[in-house]
Amino acid sequence: MEVLGNKQIFTPQPFAFNTRFSGKMEMYCDRTTVANYLNEHQGWFVRCASPMKAEPFGDHGYTLIVGRYGAFGYDVEPQMSVILEPPNLGHYAMYSVPNPDFNQDGYEVNYRSEMDIEAIAPEEVGEDLDKIFTKKIASFFPDEITRINWSLDLEVRVVFPAFIYKLPINIIQNTGDRLLAQIVKQISPRLSLKVQKDFHTKYDLPIPPKTSRTCEKIA
């Protein structure tokens, strides 16, 4: 609250909403082949981001329009630009960066996601791979499976219209945190499935079942 002369002027302060998730995604192929696929993200990222809109941003980045979301009668269509760092010993990082072309009045997105890939033996997979591969009539059975372990840390800072601040602070905070978590729960499994379908179709492999990918909120 600012005081100008004898008048008090309300200056809204941003709310910071946070959520963190982790999960896994299994690929029915060797680690080297999966790593090569991930490294060539110019081929799969835009395809698999749908229904989000994705456009290239520099040599190793993309601009994403996540979709329209809102609460309390206030909607926002967040967009962000992200950079995919070149991998380092099987470790991948993706994080948001400022984009001077954005008109981000009222909100700011801070995003970081990390992935590690590891080779595991087929018998470590919970599914019956013999049955899955027999049904597909795949050209080969893999000697190793690749597991992608990922984590996500997301913060969105929002300056609401003045009428929103008449609500109790805890209601605004809890609703925003819950909405952010719901967005991740909707988008992340969908993205994982699209990547799995894109990869396994490319190599004529069976699509892993739902149990091969997880998405869990970190308390």
Average pLDDT, the chain: 86
**Rounded Cα–Cα distance for residues 98 and 96 (Å):** 7
**Rounded Cα–Cα distance for residues 6 and 174 (Å):** 35
Tokens, residue 151 = 């984590």
Q: Taking residues 6-15, what's their average pLDDT?
A: 69
pLDDT at 2: 45
Count the Cβ atoms, other than its own, within 10 Å of residue 185. 15
| Domain count for the chain | 1
| Res 13 pLDDT > 90 | no
Summarize pLDDT for 175-195 with one digit per residue, the tens. 989 988 998 998 899 999 999
Please report whether residue 88 resides in a domain: yes
Taking a C-beta distance cutoff of 8 angstroms, is the pair 64, 79 a contact? yes
**Rounded Cα–Cα distance for residues 79 and 101 (Å):** 11
Please report whether residue 119 resides in a domain: yes
pLDDT at 3: 45
Please report whether residue 2 resides in a domain: no
- C-alpha distances in angstroms, 181 versus 72, 177, 188? 17, 6, 10
Identify the sign of the CA torsion 158, 163, 169, 171.
negative
Please report whether residue 197 resides in a domain: yes
**Rounded Cα–Cα distance for residues 31 and 118 (Å):** 7
Tokens, residue 162 = 């003045």
Q: Which domain range does residue 50 map to?
A: 14-217
Query: Taking Cα atoms as reference points, which of 184, 127, 198 lies closest to residue 150?
Result: 184
| Res 57 pLDDT > 80 | yes
Which residues 6+ apart lie within 8 Å of 43 measured at CB?
none
Please report whether residue 1 resides in a domain: no
Query: What CATH code is carried by the domain that includes residue 111?
Result: 3.30.530.20
Summarize pLDDT for 67-126 with one digit per residue, the tens. 666 666 766 777 889 999 999 988 999 999 988 887 666 788 899 999 999 999 888 887
Please report whether residue 4 resides in a domain: no
Please report whether residue 116 resides in a domain: yes
Please report whether residue 133 resides in a domain: yes
